[in-house]
Structures are given as C-alpha cells and as structure tokens.
Structure 1
C-alpha cells in the first residue's frame, strides 16, 4: 500500500509537470524546457510528498508542498533558462496559497498567525534589499517572497528565517564557485521552502 501511494503520487506529479511544461511553452514570454525536465522533477517531488502523506502527514497540509513542488520546478526552469520569475506563476500563487492555508488554519489555528508574519517578514526583507540595491534583488524574487513566506510561516517563523539564510548562503556559494555574478536566486529560495513544508516539525 505504501509503495502504491508513492507510485500514484509520482504518476500524478508527472502529469502535473507535463501541464506545467505546456504552460511555460505557451505563456507570453515563455520558455521551452528540455523534454521531460518538468515531468520527471515534479514527479519526484510529488512522490516524496505522497510518501510523507502515507507516513502521517495530514491531508489538509499535503496540498501545500504539492503546490509548492510544482511551482518550484516551473520557476526554477524559468530562472535558469531565462533569468526571470514570470508574473504568470508568482502572482496567482498568492490566492491559491491563501485558500490552501485557510483550509489548514481550520485544522491548526496557529497557522494563520505564522502565515501573516512569515509573508510580511520574507517580503519585507526582500523588498528592503531591492530598494537599497536593485542589482542585488530582482523584482520576481520580491514577488515570490511573499507567497513563500506565507506557506513557510505556516510551519513556523523560525523556518522562514532558516529559509532566508539558506537562500542567501546558497546563492553566495554558487556565485563564488562559478566565479560570476547574476546567479539565479529563485531556486535557492524555493528548494529550502519546499523542504520546510514537506518536513514540518509537527505531524
């Protein structure tokens, strides 16, 4: 049964990745990811979430890392291939995340406070960096920060701080290792955020 749930999750993720790939190809100023990149990546992430759900993750929460995993793959592809985080993905993430977190708040009331605090913290810090030095932070990163802060803040405000530090450190290490600037920052934000929502400290 455990393996069957993982297989179903992976198959659903593969299909979701295919839809995401079509969206990227057809979007205004879209990108064309290599064949099967999105499908395999989303399939793997959704398989992990399916296993977590089978191991006890509440179903009212599982939708959050599923959505974030899908979004993380598509945005990472955009940032790597085109050096941008498109509005067609970052802006709709706000209302969708709001609905999922509202459902979660019914089962875990503390989620609401963390969501608001996390969104303000992540967005506020990134906006401040953007205002102080526009070359250090892209507008897409700022738009993404609010929704990421909301979903990670639902786990805990400490998780938001950890994700922010991990994102900054990862980008810095990548820039030093590659010996160039202009490193896409989106993937460094999305990876730890997905991990934080997929492996929260509560069942």
Structure 2
C-alpha cells in the first residue's frame, strides 16, 4: 500500500507541472501542445529544467538563460498536487479496508482502481480550477464539462463491476440536485452566481453523491460556510464590500473535499445527536 501511495505522489508531482501550464494557457486560449518557453526571454525550457520542484530549487528560482525570477507558484502547485494525490490514494485504500488487511475480489479491485482514478482526476481539476478562478473569475467549460463524462463513465463502470448501483443512483441525484440548486440561486440573483459555478456544482454533486447522503449534505453546506466566513473577514478588514465579486469556485471545491474526507462521519455524528436525544 505504501508503494501505491508513493507512486500516486510522484504522479501528482508530474501532473502538477502540467496543471501550471493548463492554468496559464487555457484562459489565454493558448495551445497546450506548444513548447514551453520562458515568458521573459522566450528561451525553450529543456526537459531537465522542467523536473517538478527539483528544477526550481536547482535553478534557484530563476530562468537558466536570462536569470529572470520564476514564480514560487510553480513548485507550490506541483508539491500540493503531489501531496493531494498521495492523500486521495491513502483515503481510497483506507475506505476500502485495505489498511486493515481486508481482501477484495478481482472485480472489487478493478472497481476501486477506477474510483481512485476518478478522485485523482477530481483532485487535479480542483487545483487547476481554483487557480483559474482566482486569476480570472472564470471556470472554463473546456475543463468543467468533460468532467461530467469522465466521472460518469468511471463510476458507471465501477458500479457495474461490483453489481451495486446504489452509489451510482445517489451520484446521479447529487448531480441533479446541486446543479438545480445553484441554477435557482443564479436565477434568483443574476450576477451573484456565475454560470461556471452552476456547471461545477453538478460535477461536485456526482463525486459527493457517490460517497453517500452525508458527504453530499456536508460538502454542499461547507461551501457556503467557507465562502461566507471569508466574505465577512474581507469586509471586517475593509478589503471588500457587500457587492464585491468574490470567486466562489474555490470555496465550492474546498467544501467538496470536506464532504469527501469527513462528510459521512460528520453526517452520522449529526444524526446521532437527534437519535441519542
């Protein structure tokens, strides 16, 4: 299991390097296939200069040709993605009982692999969408819309392999419910909620619903809790007013991962408060 977590972490470092490219080029409508070059001098970036985190440290945060500074955002995104991939893999393996020695059938193993891939994909788009939304206040369709197909396909096949469609059903309900809820919020207050937020809500609903009603409820609520606290904090320090536009995508994503990692546990605790009473 440790080996799988390490491999996931290394893969995350590599993916993180690519996410830096995506976060810059997609909003600028620049081809992802174009060769990477220094934005200051235009020199091509050699493969050894593009090793995640290590190259930035070796180059002391400067371009090898013109010595212009390279933003610390690049190694930070790479490192965060590596840690995120390792954590998601550990969580998925632990949730499947593999940390306690539980054995899985061949079909269950393949289903687990698909679920891990699905949540690693979600981790990747979570990071890149957060970066883009903070930079541009946009959530590009080119990233959000394909996520419906990716999540739907992976979870459908996983459900087919295990012969249990209940999680897939809740995922579908979660997608519809969250999309509709955000759609109505946007309709009630035009300009208060972006169209990208509505589309992202459906994707988040799939991932939370797959885990259960507790994850869905906690993840949906946490987004507004985090966003509300952040907005109030900005007003208290006079960095924003009541009509200041604040990107909500990052808070939706943070809320979603709260639901993923803690939603079911928090949901059971909340229900037990009433049952115990």
Matched, 1:188 2:227: no
Deviation at 1:27, TM superposition (A): 2.0
After TM superposition, the runs of 4+ consecutive aligned structure 1 residues lying more than 6 A away are: none
- Partner-residue secondary structure (3-state), 2:28: coil
Query: Of 99, 102, 127, which residue of structure 2 is paired with 1:73?
Result: 127
**Bigger radius of gyration, 1 or 2?**
2
Deviation at 1:6, TM superposition (A): 2.6
- Counterpart position of 2:80: 41
- Partner-residue secondary structure (3-state), 2:139: coil
Deviation at 1:123, TM superposition (A): 0.3
TM-score (norm 2): 0.66
Q: Determine the C-alpha separation between the residues in 2 that align with 1:64 and 1:174.
A: 29
Cα 1:157/1:116, change in 2 over 3 Å: same
TM-score (norm 1): 0.88
- Counterpart position of 1:117: 173
Unaligned runs of 5+ in 1: none
Deviation at 1:64, TM superposition (A): 2.4
- Partner-residue secondary structure (3-state), 2:211: coil
Deviation at 1:56, TM superposition (A): 5.1
Instruction: Compare relative contact order (CA 8 Å, sep 6+) and give the higher one, 1 or 2.
Output: 1
CA deviations 1:72-103 (Å, max 9, x no partner) are 10011111121111112111111111111112
Cα 1:74/1:30, change in 2 over 3 Å: farther
Matched, 1:88 2:142: yes
Unaligned runs of 5+ in 2: 31-38, 40-70, 97-111, 266-277
